[in-house]
Structure 1
Amino acid sequence: MTDTRPAEDTSRRLALLWDPPQPSTRGRRATLTLPDVVAAGIAVAHAGGLEALSMRKVAGHLGVGAMTLYTYVPGRTELIDLMIDAAFAELTLPEPGAPWRDALTRYATEHHDLYLRHPWILQTNMWRLPLAPHVLDAEEAGLRVLSEAGLPAGRVVEVIGLVDSTVRGLARAAVAEQAEGSSTGTSNDDYWESMSEFWGTWFDPARYPTMTRVWEAGGFDTGHASFEATFQRLLDGVELAVDRAAAEHGTTGRG
């Protein structure tokens, strides 16, 4: 006998995202709504990270019993799907037809800022984001920007993957630095200042000649580049791909 439960679970999971049940207009009015439950889940994740998220804690945040919560959402997995989609609804995505470089900057900046507001999203498997309306809206916008720029389909997917990975990596680094600074009370500059003894006592220029040359040439003077500056360097590389595609097809890429 075939076990149909996985398929049923998937169908239920998708239906909750695309056709959530509407509040009943009959009988006594419900004290909670599905958006209330999702907002509570986000609040719990903000307070303690995704590892702290449980149906029991969300129910406690709402002041109801856990069994009441299960009448709105089947479980933690489905709740996280809904939380991610609610967060992605905050994105202001680029409009069709905008110059690709400006549009891709908007796309990346919006995602970067979203992850800083909701760092718990970065604790999920970003390769398996839910097939949710606002998540797909964001993906559609990114693909559209690069497609309108004139890149072939395969390169569109490669480049948006590179953009997404870069944005997530920079956001993770920023979140980790914020958390470290908050927990220790030490800024990034103060931390490296506290390690200044290392360079005179332990660092060996003969072992690290390239690092030494770069240092002496002032390569480290600017410190860590901002997200905006780093992303502009990435866009320079994307522009080369757009120009190459335009040359191959005899068109002019919209910058």
Structure 2
Amino acid sequence: MDDAETPVAASSSPPSRDRFAPLWEPPPTSRRGRPPRVSRDQVVDAAVAIADADGLDAVSMRTVARSLDVGAMTLYSHVPGRDELVDAMVDRAYADLALPDADLSWRPALEQYAHGYWSLLRDHPWLLDLNTWRLPLAPHVFDAEEAAYRILLDTGLSGTRVVETVRIVNNTVAGFARAAAAEDADARAHGTDYASYWEASTDFWEHLFDPARYPSMTRLWSVGAFDSSSMPFDLHISGLLDTLELLIDRAQADGPAHIPTYEECMTHYDDRVADELHPPQP
């Protein structure tokens, strides 16, 4: 397999069983021949370390092999190619996500989940380069989704609104993380941190800014709305949670939506799966 091709963030091909099964099933142990020089976990950890340091584009079978001091062909006994390696990297990164306590009420649990996701993206910013609509079918990714849905499942929101709300929270957190990553990149490139950048713009505010042209900004400035110098590096979602609280209160007042219990779902689970996978022909 040629390792010189331009790396891509992830494959757009539909996932086959050969691609996702290794994420769920432990690799078979061979008792024949020499023991492998490196393990699959070592390969994945090395790839994650490269991506954390230099970005996802820096990860290739060759760079990972070089970091482990083995030949590239050694890696192919653990992962068939780069796409499968990236899948395993995502699963490994998501294993670091601190999931909220199941006993917490929805608001502190959702805030805890959001901060955990924020920390995940700050520790592994290369995750922001992936298409979140096509994350790998991986156990730790599913663990994160399960925890997020569980938080809102019995709040009275409809099933559709639960899924939409989790997506909104994820996208909000990712937006903050993406801005923070961009600020990190600018600070490295120009040697100027966030506070120093804005401190150096005093002349603009004194001589060029026109309060009459920007009255809304002026009014917000007058009450200190722009005073947080650490804004790119803090996660602020209290306003989002306040809005969600209003939606939940209204849903409960109107009559909470009924989402079947797990036991109710399982009574027809096999039939439902069969219908989804093999819909009746007209």
The answer to whether TM tops 0.5 is yes
**Alignment of 1:151 onto 2:151:** no
Is the Cα contact below 8 Å between 2:47 and 2:64 reproduced in 1? yes
Quote the residue 2:7 is aligned against.
Answer: none
Cα 1:145–1:170 change in 2 (3 A) is same
Q: How large is the RMSD of aligned CA atoms in angstroms?
A: 2.3
Match of 1:174 in 2: 180
1:73 pairs, out of 66, 71, 79, with 79
CA contact (8 A) 1:23 1:33 kept: no
- Within 5 A, what are the aligned runs for 1:131-150? 131-150=137-156
1:198 equivalent to 2:204? Answer yes
**TM-score, scaled to structure 1:** 0.88
Q: Is the 8 A contact 1:45 1:53 kept in 2?
A: yes
Alpha-carbon distance in 2 for matches of 1:142, 1:26 = 44
Of the structure 1 ranges 230-239 and 217-226, higher mean CA displacement relative to structure 2 is found in 217-226
Q: CA deviation at 1:8?
A: 9.4
Match of 2:32 among 10, 22, 26: 26
CA offset at residue 9 of structure 1? 6.4
Please list, as runs of the form range in 1=range in 2, the aligned pairs for 1:1-255 lying within 5 A after superposition: 10-223=16-229, 225=231, 230-249=236-255
Q: Tell me which protein shows more helix as a share of its residues.
A: 1
What is the alpha-carbon distance in structure 2 between the residues aligned to residue 75 and residue 157 of structure 1? 32
- Report deviation, 1:64: 1.1
Once the two structures are superposed, residues 148-179 of structure 1 have per-residue CA deviations (whole angstroms, 9 ceiling, x without a partner) of 32221011011101100011111111222223
Give structure 2 stretches of 5+ with no counterpart: 1-11, 258-282
How high is the sequence identity, in percent, across the aligned residues?
50
SS in 2 for 1:111: helix
Alpha-carbon separation, structure 1, partners of 2:214 and 2:29: 66
**How many residue pairs are counted as aligned between the two chains?**
246
Distance change (3 Å), C-alpha of 1:19 and 1:163: same
Change (3 A) 1:42 1:155: same
Q: CA deviation at 1:36?
A: 0.7
- Cα 1:215–1:10 change in 2 (3 A) is same
- TM superposition score normalised by structure 2: 0.80
| Distance verdict in 2 for CA 1:228–1:50, change over 3 Å | closer
Shift of 1:228: 6.3
Gap runs ≥5 in structure 1: 1-5
